[in-house]
Amino acid sequence: MLRDRLIFGLIYNNGAFMQSRNFRLQRVGDINWLEKNYKFQKISFSIDELVVVDASRNDKNIEVFASTVRRLVEKVFVPVAAGGGIKKVSDAETLFLNGADKVVINSALYRDPDLVKQIIDRYGSQSLVASVDYKMSEGECCVYIDDGSTLIEASLLEYLSYVESLGVGEILLNSIDKDGTGFGYDLDIVSQYCSGLNVPLILMGGAGKESHLLDGMKLPEVSAVATANLFNFIGNGLPNAREFMLSSGANLANWNPGCR
């Protein structure tokens, strides 16, 4: 049976890892902090996938970011998706060469669909995760690009269908309103906007505790739930969350830890 996935997200900004709240970034620590507080190579056995996003607001340096990804993913044996600021095929290639299995594309979905198609032609649709950020405004569901700073003229429904038509492999849907709040996912949006999707959906934004992850996973439209909440899942947070979810009957993969 195809399993649901628990994904851990990391938000990177000019050499540091961040806690994001409504897309405002707060510095938490550098890679040394991360390795100390998350014992990364250990807890990576509790997650099904890792997403690392460069959210640096100005000049994103893909080379420096890629070298951080490279260090991060050593001895990590789950798929790694990385992105943020990809403007040309060679940017994607840089990430693939440094340990990414997939790239995450957001603004280029809107600004440069040809780039999206070129990456898919070369690396396959499964190699591209489309990231879509949205926020409620006067009862309307509005789509934003450029790290949540630019509103685009398309309804969420139209935009999701457009993104799917580009041939992307997965869609990562993130609520700017719920981001980092720890209040739980925006569950209503999923049944309203995502039931027609034919690609796997990753839900992100708002998970603050184990039961939130489970709530998201229960929705039939959702293939994976993601959290980038560095504060709420610190230490043994992720191993504990996985254990809780498995004991609550979540459809997650089982490992044979004896084989490590």
Partner 1 sequence: MKIVIVDYGMGNVRSIVGALNYIGQEDVLVSNQFEDLNNADRLILPGVGNFSQAMRRIIDLELDKKLVDLVVGNNKSILGICLGMQLLGRASTEGELNFGLGIIDGRVERFEVEGLKVPHVGYNQVIFNEMSRLYKGLSTGPDFYFTHSFRMLSDSSIGASTCQYGGAFVASFELENVAGVQFHPELSQDNGLQLLRNFVELFEC
Binding site for partner 1 (CB under 8 A): 1-5, 45, 48, 70, 73-75, 77-80, 96-102, 121-127, 169-170, 197-200, 223-224, 252-260
Comparing CA positions, the residue from 148, 125, 142, 119 lying closest to residue 53 is 148
Q: What is the closest distance, in whole angstroms, from the C-beta atom of residue 108 to partner 1 in the complex?
A: 19
215 is catalytic: no
- Per the residue annotation, which of 4, 48, 54, 133 is the catalytic one? 133
- For residue 164, the tally of other CB atoms under 10 A from its CB is 15
Q: What is the closest distance, in whole angstroms, from the C-beta atom of residue 20 to partner 1 in the complex?
A: 25
- φ/ψ of 213, rounded to 5, equals -60, -45
Half-sphere exposure of 105 (CA within 13 A, CB side): 34
Element (DSSP H or E) covering residue 240: helix 237-247
Distance of alpha carbon 223 from alpha carbon 245, whole angstroms: 15
Q: What is the closest distance, in whole angstroms, from the C-beta atom of residue 204 to partner 1 in the complex?
A: 16
Q: What is the closest distance, in whole angstroms, from the C-beta atom of residue 124 to partner 1 in the complex?
A: 4
Beta bridge partners of 120: none
Which residues are known to be catalytic? 133
